[in-house]
Amino acid sequence: MEALEMFTSDRNADVYTEELKLNLGPQHPSTHGVLRVELAMDGEIITDSWCDIGYLHRCAEKIGENVTYLQFTPYTDRMDYLASMNNNLAWSLTVEKLLDVEAPERAQWIRALVAELNRIASHLIAFGTYGIDLGANTPFFYAFRERESIMQLLEKISGARMLYNFIRPGGVANDIDDAWMDEVSAFCDDFEKRWVEYNTLLTDNFVFIQRTANIGILTKELALSNGCTGPVLRASGVKWDLRRDVPYLEPYDECEFDIPVGEGTHGTLGDCWDRYWVRMREMIESVRIIRQCIEKIPPGAHMEKSMVKMYKTPLKPPPGEAYVRCENPRGELGFYVVSEGGNSPIRCRTRAPSFCNLSVLDKLLPGTMLGDAVATIGSLDIVLGEVDR
Amino acid sequence: MEALIGLFGELFGLEGTLALSAAYAVCIGSILGFVTVYSMFAIWMERKVAAHIQVRMGPMVTGGWHGWAQSVADAVKLLFKEDIIPTRANAFMFWIAPAVVFCGVFAGLIVVPFAVGVQVVDLHLGVFFIIAIASIEVIGVIIAGWASNSKYSLFGAVREAAQVVSYEIPTATALLVPILVVGSFRLNDFNTWQAEHHWLIFHSPWLAMAALIFFISSLAGCKRAPFDLPEAESELVSGFHTEYSGMRFSFFFLEEYTSMFVAALLTATLWFGGFNLPFVDSSAWHPALAMPIGIVVLLAKTFFFIFVQMWLRWTLPRLRVDQVMSMGYKYLVPWAFVALIATAVWDYYGWGWLPL
Amino acid sequence: MGILNNTLPSNTVTDAVDGVIGWGRKSSIWPMTFGIACCAIEMMAVYAATFDLDRFGAGVPRATPRQSDLIIVPGTVNAKMAVRVKRLYDQMAEPRYVIAMGACVCGGGPYVKWGYNTVKGVHKIIPVDIFVPGCPPRPEALMDGILKLRDKIGMNDVFRRQKETAESMNRSYGHL
Amino acid sequence: MNEAGLHAKLGAAGIDGIGELDTSAKDPFVVVEADALVAVMTFLRDDPDCAMEMLHLVTATEREACIELAYHLCSYQHHHSFVVKVICPRPEGGNHDTWHPEVPSVAGVFDAADWHEREQWDLLGVVFAGHPDPRRILLPEEWIGHPLRKDFVYPSFLGDVPLELDATPMYERGPDWTPPSSEPRPAGEPLIQPPSPPSDRPHAGGQAPAKDEAPADAADTGKEG
Amino acid sequence: MGAIRDYFGNISSALTSTAKGMGVTLRHYRKEPPITIQYPFERFPVPDRYRGLHILEQEKCIDCKLCAKACPVDCIEIEAEHHGRILEWTQFSIDYKKCIFCEFCIPPCPVDCIHMTTEYELATEDPDGMVEDLLTWTGLRPQDQRALEEAAARKAGKVVPDAAASKPSAEGTSAEDMAAKIAAIKARMGKKD
C-alpha cells in the first residue's frame, strides 16, 4: 500500500498543473458593458470566479444629493439606460410620495403605456445580445429592427430617442394623441408576428436549447437570499410581480395580464433558458397591457396642476423619507430618498435590480464551462450603468 | 501541367528542370492570384449575404456599385497597417504561424481539377493529399496560439486542436464512401465516373448521408459557425489570432475562406458531379469549349455550397466545446461508419435507389 | 525611416500612393467592440439594420484592439476605466483613430461638476480625432462623426500623426 | 400583517434593544441597537409570521448628528415590508477621515447584504464588523476617502489619471511629470474646491422676474459661483 | 430505451430546428427588403418634438437666467449688460460638452424665447468647438446703439445729427434666416400644443 501511495503521489508531483486565471472584461464582447470577471480555470472548466464592478461608477447618488428633485430626473435615465421610462417612473413616484401628490388619472395610464413599451424595448436588447453571446448574430438585427420602431414611437412623444426624461414628478411631460396610439397598436400587431419568428429562429433552436438548458441554475432559495428580483427571480419559480402584487399605477390594477414564471421546460427550473423564456413571454404580456391601456385610457390632464411650477421654483418636500419600488424590466428598482426640507435630498439611494441580480453570478459560475459563463452573464441581463450607478 | 511545359518549350525553348520550374511558378502564381481574388470576393459576398439576411445593405459606398471594392480597400488597409509583435511573444513562432496556416490550405488546391485539363498535378491520391495537407493548418494555429503569449489565444489554439483532430475522423470516413463507389482517390476519376453514370449524391441514401456528414464536419474543419469555437468572438475575443494585426491577421482570414473553398469544392466534386453539367453530356465537346464551361459550372456549384455555409453561419448559435466533441464522436463518427459499411453492402448487391 | 517620420518628399508617385492608402484606410475602418455606457446602445443601433455602418465598410466590429482601427469611446470613462481605455488604445496598431462619443467623453457631460470619479473628457487620456457630443448622440450624429473621420483620413499623409504628435507620443508611451 | 403587528411580534421575541415604532414616517420604521441587529434580522427572516425572505436595501444616511442605517426588508409570502434602522451617533469632530461608525454585518443572514454593505463601506465609510469580504466595490482600491460623506474632498488625480476639468492630457505631459498624488493631501484644503452646498445654488428660490419689470433690476440676479 | 429515443430525438430536432431557422433567415434574405436608411443620402423624418440643438429669439430674451438656473448640468452661460430696457449682449452660449438635452431650460422661460430645433449633427475635431453661441448678433443692435447715444446726448443737452438709416444692418440676412427659422419652430410648437 505504501508503495502504491508513493507511486500515486509521485505521479501527481510529476504533472505540473497551474490554475489559469482568465480575465474577462472590462472590454470583452459579452460582458454587456464594463463588467470584469476574474475566472480561475481548470482547462475549460471554471473553478472560481470574482466579479469586479465599478468601471461605470458615475456618482449618481452624490449628484442626487446636490441637484434638485426635478433636476435628478434626467440622471435616473442614465442609470438603467435601456429602460429609462421605468426609471423616470420610479423616481417620480418617490418624489410624489414625499410630496403627498398623486398624478392625474390620464397621466398614470400614459405612464403605464410608455413604461410597458420601454419594457419591450429593453427585453428586445436582452434577446438580441443574448443571441450574440451565444454566437447567433442575426437575432440581434431583428431585435433592433423592432426596437427602432419603439424608439421612434417614444421619440414622437418625448423628443428623445433613448433617454426620454418623459415621466416627471406630477405626471408626464406631454400628452399623447389618438394618432400616436393607433401607431402603437399597429406596432403591437406587427410585433406579435415577429415574436413568433424570433422563437422559430432562436428559442426553439436545438443548439440554443443545448447551450442554455441546465446551465446556470439559480435555485429559489439562492435567488431570494441574494435579493434577485424581476425575471431572474420569476424564472426560479417565484410568482412575484410588483405590478400585480403591489400595483403602483392604476392601470396595473385594472388590466389583465399574466405573470410568466419559469417552468423548467427544457431542464431544471431556474436555468438560463427559463430566464430567457420568462423575458420573451413578458414581452407578449406587455403587449397585452399596452392594448388594454390604449382601449381604456381616460381623458384628462397629463400633469398635476400644482406641480407645473416646479420648473421655475424647485420642489421642497417636507422632511421625511420615502422608499418606492417599481417593477423594472430587470427587477425591482427602488429609490430611497431622505429629505430634510431643502431643495435637494440629503440621501438619494438607489436599489438597482441589476446590482442584486449580478451578486449571484459568483455563485453560479463555478463548475461550468467558459461558454456557459458567457451564457449565464447574458441570461442575468445586467446593465452596468445601473449596477455601478 | 504537361501542356504548360510544352508551351514553355515551344515559346522560350525551355527544357527539362527549367521548363518544369517555370511551369510550376506559373501554376502557383495563378493559384495564388486566384485565391486572393476569390477570398476578396468571398469576403464581400459574406458581408452582402449577412447583410441581406439581417435586412440591411452591407457595403454600399466603397468603389461605387454595391461596394464591390470593399475587400480591396480592406486589403490595402491591412497591408499598410502596423504589424505588432507583442513583447512577450515568441517572435519567430509568431512570425511563422500565419505562413504555416496558409500553406497547408493553399497546397490543397494543387490537386483540384477545375475543368478538363485544368489541374496542376493529377495525383493518384488526390483526396488523400487534400486531407493530409489540410491538417498542417492545425499546427500553424497551435503555433499561433502558443506563440502569442495570450490566454485567449491559447484557449483558441487548444480548442482548435481538439476540434479539428476529432473531426478529421468523420471527414475522412465520409470521404471514403464515394471513394468506395468510384474506386479511386484521384479527383479526376470522380468527374469521369459521374459523367458516365450519375451524380454520386443520387447513388444511394448512404451517399447523401455521407455528403451531409462531410459537409457538417468540414464546417468544423473550416472553423465556421456553429463550430467557430477557436475564434469564438463572444467567448475568446478573437481566439487564436487575438494578438495578430495587419497583414498577418489577413493570412488567417485568407486561410479561413480558402479552406471554405476547398471544402465546398470537394463536396461539389465528389457528390455533385464536379465540373459536369446535369443532364448534359459534355465529354464529346471540344476542350476549348468544355474548359471554360467546366470552370464556370464547378465554381457555380462551389459558390452555392459556400453560400450554404454562410447561410448556416448567420442562422445558428455556436455550440459549446464539449457539445462539439460529443457531436463529433457520438453522432458523426458512428453514422459515417454506418454509411461506409452500408454503401459497401449496397454496392455489393448492386441495388439502385433512384432510377438513374 | 522616412515613412515613419513623414519626411518623404511630395511628388506624383508619393501622392498617388498616398491616395490609394488613404482610400483604403478610410474605406475600411474596423471599429472595436467596446461599449461603456448609454452611448454604446446607440452605437449598437448604428451597427444595426436601420443605420448599418457596414455601408461604409466599417461594419466589421473586431473584439480585439490589435485588429481594429477605430475605438469609439461610448460612455463615461471613470478613474477605474481610464487605465483600461489607455491600455486598449496602446494595444491598437497604427494607424488608429479615436471617436469620443457622447457628452461625457467629450468633456465630462452631466458628471462634470459633481462627478468625483469621472474623467472630464477622454481626450485627457488618449488623443481624440472626432468629438461627437450629445447625450446620447443620435445614430445619425455618430455616423456624421464617422463620415468626418473618413474625410480626415482621406486627406492625410501616409502617416496620420504629424511629426510633432508622433514625437510627443513617443515621449509619453515610449514606443511607436 | 402591518408594521405595528410586525413590531409587536418583534417585541415579543425577547430581543433586547428594540425601540419604538415610528409611525409618523411614510414607511414606519423601528430603531434597534447595533448589538441586537443580527438577532432582529434573523428573527424577521425565520419567524413564519414575518418570513422576510428578502433584504431589499441597506442604506447609510449621513445626517448632522449621526449616520443612520436603514434596512428595508420584504416578504413575498405575506406581501408586507418593514424597515429596521440603526443609528450611529457622530462623535465630537468626527469627519470622514477619522470617524468610521461600526455596525455588525448581516451578510451571514442575508446574502444580499454582502454587496450592499460593501457599497456602504465604499461610499460612506461605515464599517461592517464581521463582513466576509470588506473591500471597496465601486471605487478602485487605492481611492482615498468616502465620497458620499458631506465633507469629502474631491481629488484631482487618481494615480496618474487626471480627474480635473482643465487637467493636462496624459499624452501631452512632459517627460519629468510626476503624479501629484504622491504628495500628502493638505488637510482641510481640497485639491478641487468642492462645489457649493445645495442651499447656495442659484436655483434655490429662483424667481422669474415679471415681464414688465425693469430689466436693470434683473442684472444683479446673475449667476453666482 | 429512453437514451436511444433521446439520441434519435436529438438528431431529428437538431435537423428540423436548424431547417426551420434557416427558413426564417432565407425568407428574410429573399423576401424582406433592407430597412436601411442610407444616412447621408436619405434621412429619417425627425419628429417635431425632437430635442435637438437650441435656438434663441434674441429680441425677446430678457436675460432673466432662469434657463441657466433650471439646467441640471449648468451648461448655459449668459452675460449681458443692461441699459434700461436695452440689453447689450456679450454671451449666450450652450456648452454641448455638458448639455444632456433634457429640455428643462424650455418651460421656465417667462418670455418663451428659447427653443429646441431638430438639428443634431455636432461632430467636430476641435475639443473646444462644442460650445455653441446662440447669439445671432453680439453687443447692441445698431438701432439700440443709436437710441442709447441719442439718450446720452439728450441728457447732455446736445442736438443729435440725424444719421438714421445711414447703414443697413450687417446682420440683416442672418436675422431674416433667424426669423424664418423661428417662425418654423413656432408653427411646430403650435402643432405640438
Q: Which residues of E touch B330 (CB under 8 A)?
A: 7
Per-residue pLDDT tens digits of chain C, which is 176 residues long: 445 555 556 667 777 777 788 888 888 888 888 888 888 888 888 888 888 888 888 878 888 888 888 888 888 888 888 888 888 888 888 788 888 888 888 888 888 888 888 888 888 888 888 888 888 888 888 888 888 888 888 776 554 444 445 554 544 444 33
In what order do the strands lie in the sheet containing D66-75? D18-22, D29-32, D80-89, D66-75, D54-62
Q: Contact A343/D203, CB-based, under 8 Å? A: yes
When computed from its CA atoms, the radius of gyration of chain E, rounded to whole angstroms, is 29
Q: Does the pLDDT of residue B109 top 80, yes or no?
A: yes
Q: Which domains does chain E have, with CATH numbers?
A: 54-139+171-188 (3.30.70.3270)
- For B97, list phi and psi in degrees, rounded to 5: -60, -50
- The predicted pLDDT at position A123 comes to 92
- Give the count of domains, chain B: 1
Examine residue C136 and say whether the peptide bond preceding it is cis (omega within 30 degrees of 0).
yes
First-to-final CA distance of chain E: 71
Q: Which residues of D touch C112 (CB under 8 A)?
A: 165
Q: Which residues of D touch E111 (CB under 8 A)?
A: 211
Q: Rounded to whole angstroms, what are the CA distances from B169 to B28, B226, B227, C23, C136?
A: 30, 18, 16, 46, 53
Any residues with CB less than 8 A from the CB of C8 and at least 6 apart, and which? Answer: C2, C14, C158
Q: Under DSSP, is residue D5 helix (H, G, I), strand (E, B) or coil?
A: helix
CA distance A146 to A161: 14
The answer to whether residues A78 and A163 touch, using CB atoms and an 8 Å cutoff, is yes
In three state form, how does the secondary structure of A21-40 look? EEEECCCCCCCCCCCEEEEE
CA distance D32 to D37: 7
- For D69, list phi and psi in degrees, rounded to 5: -105, 130
The length of chain B is 356
Amino acid A13 reads: A
E strand residue ranges, E96-167 = 114-116, 131-133
CA distance D10 to D20: 11
Any residues with CB less than 8 A from the CB of E128 and at least 6 apart, and which? Answer: none
- Which of residues B305 and A307 earns the better pLDDT score? B305
Determine which of E75, E78, E82 to mutate to test the interface with D (most D C-beta atoms within 10 Å): E82
CA distance A210 to B316: 12
Q: Contact E62/D202, CB-based, under 8 Å? A: no
Establish whether this prediction's ipTM goes over 0.95: no
CA distance A362 to A119: 27
Angle between helices B187-196 and B246-271 (to 10 degrees): 40
CA distance E192 to E48: 8
> Is B284 within the bounds of a domain?
yes
pLDDT lower than 50: segments of chain E: 163-173, 190-193
The answer to whether residues B127 and B214 touch, using CB atoms and an 8 Å cutoff, is no
Q: Under DSSP, is residue D30 helix (H, G, I), strand (E, B) or coil?
A: strand
- For B146, list phi and psi in degrees, rounded to 5: -75, -40
Give the strand pairing for E54-56 and E114-116: antiparallel
Phi/psi-derived region of residue E165, left when phi > 0, alpha when psi is between -120 and 50, beta in every other case: left
CA distance D129 to D150: 23
Determine which of E59, E61, E64 to mutate to test the interface with D (most D C-beta atoms within 10 Å): E64
Give tens-digit pLDDT for A90-138: 999 998 888 888 888 888 898 898 999 999 999 999 898 898 888 888 8
Q: Contact C134/E96, CB-based, under 8 Å? A: yes
The closest alpha carbon to A284, from A206, A212, A167, A199, belongs to: A199
E60 touches D at CB < 8 Å: no
Grid cell for residue E35: 430597412
DSSP string of B328-352?
A: IIIIIHHHHHHHHHHHHHHHHHT--
- The predicted pLDDT at position C173 comes to 46
* CATH-assigned architecture of domain C30-169: 3-Layer(aba) Sandwich (3.40)
The nearest CA of chain A is from the CA of B224 a distance in Å of 11
Give the residues across from A175 on adjacent strands: none
- The predicted pLDDT at position B5 comes to 66
Scan residues 61-100 of E and list those with Cβ closer than 8 Å to D.
Answer: 62-66, 68-70, 78, 81-82, 84-85, 87
Contacts across the A-B interface (CB distance below 8 Å): 79
- For C20, list phi and psi in degrees, rounded to 5: -65, -45
**Residue keyed to cell 484644503:** D189
D211 touches E at CB < 8 Å: yes
Give tens-digit pLDDT for D72-111: 888 888 888 888 888 888 888 777 777 888 888 888 888 8
Amino acid C88 reads: L
Give the residues across from A323 on adjacent strands: A336
Q: Which domains does chain A have, with CATH numbers?
A: 59-388 (1.10.645.10)
CA distance A129 to B334: 36
Give the strand pairing for D54-62 and A36-42: unpaired
Give the residues across from C62 on adjacent strands: C32
- Which of residues B354 and B207 earns the better pLDDT score? B207
Among B54, B59, B249, select the one facing C57 at the smallest CB separation: B59
The length of chain D is 225
Give tens-digit pLDDT for A154-210: 888 888 888 888 888 888 888 888 888 888 999 999 999 889 988 888 888 888 888
E127 touches D at CB < 8 Å: no
Q: Under DSSP, is residue B171 helix (H, G, I), strand (E, B) or coil?
A: helix
The nearest CA of chain C is from the CA of A142 a distance in Å of 8
Sign of the four-CA dihedral A375, A376, A382, A384: negative
Scan residues 307-336 of B and list those with Cβ closer than 8 Å to E.
Answer: 311-312, 314-316, 330-331
In eight-state DSSP terms, residue A307 is G
> Is B69 within the bounds of a domain?
no
CA distance A223 to D111: 9
Give tens-digit pLDDT for B169-218: 899 899 888 888 888 888 888 888 887 777 888 778 888 888 999 999 88
CA distance A28 to A31: 6
Share of chain D above pLDDT 70, in %: 79
- The predicted pLDDT at position E6 comes to 85
Instruction: Kindly state the greatest CA–CA separation across chain A.
Output: 90
CA distance A296 to A290: 10
Q: Which domains does chain D have, with CATH numbers?
A: 3-148 (3.30.460.80), 153-193 (no CATH)
Taking the domains of chain C in order of start, what are their residue ranges?
30-169
The nearest CA of chain A is from the CA of C12 a distance in Å of 43
- The predicted pLDDT at position D136 comes to 84
- The predicted pLDDT at position B82 comes to 79
In eight-state DSSP terms, residue D168 is P
H or E stretch including A172? strand A171-172
- Which of residues B317 and E119 earns the better pLDDT score? B317
Per-residue exposure over B273-308, b if at least 16 CB sit within 10 Å of its own CB, e if not: bbbbeeeeebeeeeeeebbebbeebbbebbbebbbe
Any residues with CB less than 8 A from the CB of A7 and at least 6 apart, and which? Answer: none
Give tens-digit pLDDT for D197-224: 433 333 333 233 333 333 333 333 333 3
> Is B120 within the bounds of a domain?
yes
The answer to whether residues A188 and A347 touch, using CB atoms and an 8 Å cutoff, is no
Grid cell for residue D137: 466595490
Give the residues across from E116 on adjacent strands: E54
Neighbours of chain D (3+ CB pairs under 8 A): A, C, E
E strand residue ranges, A12-166 = 20-24, 36-42, 45-52
Among C112, C121, C148, select the one facing E123 at the smallest CB separation: C148
- H helix intervals, chain B: 2-12, 16-53, 70-79, 91-108, 126-134, 136-147, 151-182, 187-196, 205-221, 233-236, 246-271, 287-313, 321-326, 333-349
- The predicted pLDDT at position C62 comes to 85
D208 CA to centre of own chain: 35
